[in-house]
Structures are given as C-alpha cells and as structure tokens.
Amino acid sequence: MVDAYEIEPALAQRATDNLAAFPNVMVHARSGAEGTLSACDVLYVNAGATEPLATWLDALSPMGRLLFPMTPDTGVGAMLLVTKQEDGTFTARFLLQAQFVPCFGARSEATEQKLAESFRNSNGLRSSHCIETMSRTRVAGAPAPAGGFRQIEQFSANASASHTC
C-alpha cells in the first residue's frame, strides 16, 4: 500500500484522479506532518523539515527508513536517511546536499537557526555525531517525545558515515 499526502486540495484531487488506476495508492488531502500515519517500511518527505517528526519515526516498521530533507530556513541543507533498528533505536546519515520548500508543520524556528549555523560552519555536508534521539528506545505504541530528536550536534566528519542515534 502507498499512502500519499498533499496539503493543497486541488493537487490532492489531481493526484487522486491521476493515480486512480492504481488500487494500492491512497491520496490523503492533509499534511503528513500531523496526525497518525500508517505503519510503513519507507517514508519519503518531499519538503524541508528541521528535524524528523515523532509521527514519522513512529510510523516506521523495524528496519524501516525515513528519507527527508533536513533544511534550515535559508540556504542548503541535506537529505537525511534515518533507519529504525530492530531494537527501536535509530541510525541516521546524511546522503547529499539539498534545498527544498519548507514542510509546514515540521519546522522549528530555534532548530532552523542551529541548522543554518551548522551547515554554514561545516563548509558543506558533514556529520560527526549526527543527531541524538530524545528516547533511545520506546515501547511500541507509546507516545514519542515531542520533536523526536533532541539536538543537532556539531558537523565535522565524513558525510557518508552512519551513526547510531
């Protein structure tokens, strides 16, 4: 099953019409940044967020992956790939630089400023400590901490490095 989310009603209707031949696709005329999402193996976000949202992390099945553009308010950010491990912890790594429109409902002004400074100071795409989770493990179905991830650490190492968060 493929679930798609679109906040613009006209675009949601157009997507529904264009994808009608595919019975495994459901278009939702709402934000994927709010409310509960269906459990999934892959979640792709096509708008810039300042951090992975708890609703996105909660939707991931064990070994599920979340790919989204982590972006500051201005300038270049990076595509972050987050993988939920079997034990409920997450690994994350930056894949490449990216610049996207903002994802409404997935932005924090304080984090935007930290991201902008981190990406500016890194001289490109690098991460050493990546990001830390507010809660390393959670009971399935338990509410996630607000924001999902606590802080952005100093960027300093190889961009392809993978870190347990």
- pLDDT tens for each residue of 116-128: 888 777 655 544 3
More confident residue, 145 or 103: 103
Q: How far apart are CA 68 and CA 45, in angstroms?
A: 5
SS3 string, 73-133, reads CCCCEEEEEEEECCCCCEEEEEEEEECCCECCCCCCHHHHHHHHHHHHHHCCCCCCCCEEE
Question: Is the whole-model pTM more than 0.75?
Answer: no
- pLDDT tens for each residue of 43-61: 999 999 999 999 999 999 9
- pLDDT tens for each residue of 65-116: 999 999 988 888 899 999 999 999 999 999 998 888 878 888 888 888 888 8
Each domain of the chain, given as residue ranges in start order, spans 1-30, 37-164
Q: How far apart are CA 63 and CA 65, in angstroms?
A: 7
Task: Among 25-34, 58-67, 69-78, 150-159, name the one with the lowest average pLDDT.
Answer: 150-159
